[in-house]
A and B are shown apart, each in its own frame.
Chain A
Amino acid sequence: MMDEILIQALSGLSRGMVLFVVASGLTLIFGTMRIANFAHGSFYMLAAFLTYSVATMVGDRTWGFLAALCLAPPIVAGVGALIEWGLLKRIATRPHQYQLILTYAITLIVADGIKMLWGSDYRTVARPAGLDGAITILDMPFPTYNAMLILVGVLIAVGLHLLLTRTRFGKTIRAAVADGEMIGALGVNVQRLFTGVFALGAGLAGLGGVLAAPVGSVSLGIDSSIIIESFAVIIIGGVGNVMGALIGAVLIGVVHAVGILFVPKLAIAFVFIALCAVLLIRPQGLLGRNT
């Protein structure tokens, strides 16, 4: 029984890692620009469909996946930068609800655009060779691809941590999270910083989309499911806090996966019970600060 729970928890962990990669981008954008970016799920979905197309074009499943991994996140980051520069920047001084409406409009536009380009069929992306098998943990099989997801999630977490704590760009982002107006008065071009952060966040959503494509379904609708969970993650972890997003995503992934084992009908509810508990007990999030 313990083995089963452990394997299930690992499976939840791998799912949580994809969620973390996506949510880390959302939390960076939210924390820095104070924009609740509904279009974040669209970046994820766009990358998943791009992965399908690139993989199909390349043909070979290993090279196809690697090509998608190299191409889709930068493309989506570019789309994000264009959206920030072309649309969001123009209404940056308006009340927040306008930005909400705009990002929501973008989700509708992207969803319809994808429907026009790719149609509404379910697509699947094959796992790369070497990652399609299973490894054995405690005499139980565990998919190699999911093990790789856990590893990649850890690498991204470490990479983002280093970016935010060791580079001037990262330190400036953290300063902007704390006080955007002040960092501007110190000579930082906040507009350009925002475009950079938005592109980085969109790229992370794109990376999540590529990573999820071989395990989840590539279909319309995955944008809204991921955005709801991502918002739950960043609220649990604390808005603007990348390590908080890691904890929140792992928590949601594991609670969901282990919950299914015991009370299958309530599995989805567990996520929101955890969310409510955090909101009631620690409204600023687990690693968030009172502001």
Chain B
Amino acid sequence: MLTCEAINTFYGPAHVLFDVDVKVGEGDMVCLIGRNGVGKSTCLKSIMGIAPVTTGQIRLDGTEISALPPYRIARAGIGYVPEDRRVFADLTVEENLEVAERHDGPWNRKAVYELFPALQEFRARRGGLLSGGQQQMLTIARTLVGNPRLLLIDEPTEGLSPLVVRTLEDMIRGLKAKGQTMLLAAQDLRFSLSVADVIYVLDRGRVAYCGDRAQASADIERIRPILSV
């Protein structure tokens, strides 16, 4: 579904991604893991067009998308859940969902309220007044109502309580079971090894390891050192 070929991304003069290749197949759950600051977020932002690539190609179902503005990439079928959540603080939960809703798939407000009953309870509350966990649920729900074919999720469990982390992990497993294609950036090897079809390990802006789950489980002694500081 998605093919990134030799992408290089810069923030001003800083070279962040070096010839990164990432492939996500239809229905796959792909995890992008690595320490802080190795370029996981940048990789997702580059796919989304928020941090456009300088060189390299990004194709969605064969169509080159790397030169498109983010809104066209979103309309082409990619949904993005940023790591810093970025709920619209002044808008209610309901309004946050409404502005992102796109009626061309199974997801709508009703469906995400079933997925996250807590959001339904607080539907009239302003996004800025929610707890961190609720904001994370809202960000995911907000992206889902856009009915993306490919879902990019950036460190969804970062800084949340263990209980919320479990809820989110179960939700991600549920999405996978429903056949949602996902590219997930995470620091957590344990969770990635339990759900991912394919694992990419990034190190200082380069792909340091790539393999399917069985391979990665076998190669765990090779992966661990890359993740340790």
CA distance A185 to B86 in the complex (A): 11
Give every chain B residue within 8 A of A183 (Cβ-Cβ).
88, 99
With contacts A178-B90, A186-B143 taken as known, whether A168 is within 8 angstroms of B99 at the C-beta atoms is yes
Q: Which of A168, A185, A191 contacts B80 (CB 8 A)?
A: A185
Residues of B contacting A168 in the complex (Cβ-Cβ under 8 angstroms): 98-99
**Known: A168-B99, A171-B99, A182-B82. Contact between A187 and B71, CB under 8 A?**
yes
Whole-angstrom distance between the alpha carbons of A289 and B88 in the complex?
13
Asked whether B90 lies within 8 Å of A289 as measured between CB atoms, the reply is yes
Chain B residue with Cβ nearest A181:
B50
| B173 part of interface (Cβ distance < 8 Å) | no
| Most B Cβ at <10 Å: residue of A177, A181, A190 | A181
Query: When the two chains form their complex, are residues A184 and B69 in contact, meaning their CB atoms are under 8 A apart?
Result: yes
Question: Which B45-77 residues have C-beta < 8 A from chain A?
Answer: 48-50, 69-71, 73-75
Q: Determine whether B95 belongs to the interface, using a CB cutoff of 8 Å to chain A.
A: yes
Task: Tell me if A151 is interfacial: C-beta within 8 Å of chain B.
Answer: no
Known: A174-B91, A175-B91. A187 touches B100 (CB 8 A): yes
- Residue from the list B50, B90, B143, B146 in contact with A174, Cβ < 8 A: B90
Q: How far is the CA of A289 from the CA of B96 in the complex (A)?
A: 18
A188 at the binding interface (Cβ < 8 Å): yes
**Which B residues touch A187, using CB under 8 A?**
71, 74-75, 100, 102, 146
Of chain B, the residue at the smallest CB distance from A193 is B71
Chain A residues, CB < 8 A from B142: 186
Interface hub of A175, A183, A189 (most chain B Cβ within 10 A): A175
Q: Which residues of A are found within 8 Å of B74, using beta-carbon distances?
A: 184-187
CB B49 to nearest CB in A, in angstroms, measures 8
Also in contact, A172 and B90, with CB within 8 A (given A181-B50, A185-B70, A189-B71): no
A interface SS class: helix
By CB atoms of chain B within 10 A, which of A178, A184, A185, A189 has the most? A185
In the assembled complex, A179 has its CB within 8 A of some CB on chain B: yes
Question: Who on chain A is nearest to B139 by CB?
Answer: A182
CA distance A188 to B75 in the complex (A): 9
The smallest beta-carbon distance between A256 and chain B, in angstroms, is 30
Candidates A171, A177, A289; contact of B98 at CB < 8 Å: A171
Q: Does the CB pair A178–B71 fall under 8 Å?
A: no
Could you tell me the distance between the alpha carbons of A190 and B49 in the complex, rounded to whole angstroms? Answer: 14
B118 within 8 A of A: no
Instruction: Let me know if A177 and B90 touch, CB within 8 A.
Output: yes
Q: Tell me, rounded to whole Å, the shortest Cβ–Cβ distance linking A43 to chain B.
A: 27
Give B154 Cβ to nearest chain A Cβ, in Å: 11
Question: Which of A181, A182, A186 is close to B146, meaning CB atoms less than 8 Å apart?
Answer: A186
Residues on B with beta carbons closer than 8 Å to the beta carbon of A289: 89-90
Q: Are B90 and A179 in contact (CB under 8 A)?
A: no
Write out the residue numbers on chain A whose beta carbons fall within 8 Å of the beta carbon of B95: 171, 174-175
When the two chains form their complex, are residues B91 and A186 in contact, meaning their CB atoms are under 8 A apart?
no
Cα separation A201 to B86 with both chains bound (whole Å): 26
Which residues of chain A come closer than 8 Å to B88, judged between CB atoms? Answer: 174-175, 178-179, 182-183
Q: Are A190 and B90 in contact (CB under 8 A)?
A: no
Residues from chain B with a CB closer than 8 A to the CB of A179 are: 86, 88
Q: In the bound complex, how far is the Cα of B80 from the Cα of A184, in angstroms?
A: 11
Question: How far, in whole Å, are A181 and B88 apart by their CA atoms in the complex?
Answer: 11
- State the Cβ distance, A28 to closest chain B Cβ, in Å: 14
A189 neighbours in B (Cβ, 8 Å): 71
The answer to whether B86 and A171 have CB atoms under 8 Å apart is no
Sample 25 A-B pairs with CB under 8 A, ordered by A number: A171-B91, A171-B95, A174-B91, A174-B95, A175-B95, A175-B96, A177-B90, A178-B88, A179-B86, A179-B88, A181-B70, A182-B86, A183-B88, A185-B48, A185-B50, A185-B73, A185-B74, A185-B82, A186-B74, A186-B80, A186-B99, A186-B100, A187-B102, A188-B71, A189-B71
Question: Which B residues contact A (CB, under 8 angstroms)?
Answer: 48-50, 69-71, 73-75, 80, 82, 86, 88-91, 95-96, 98-100, 102, 142-143, 146
Task: For the A-B complex with A174-B95, A177-B90, A186-B100 known, give 18 more contacts whose Cβ atoms are closer than 8 Å.
Answer: A168-B98, A171-B91, A174-B90, A178-B91, A179-B88, A181-B70, A182-B82, A183-B99, A185-B49, A185-B50, A185-B80, A186-B74, A186-B142, A187-B74, A187-B100, A188-B71, A188-B99, A289-B90
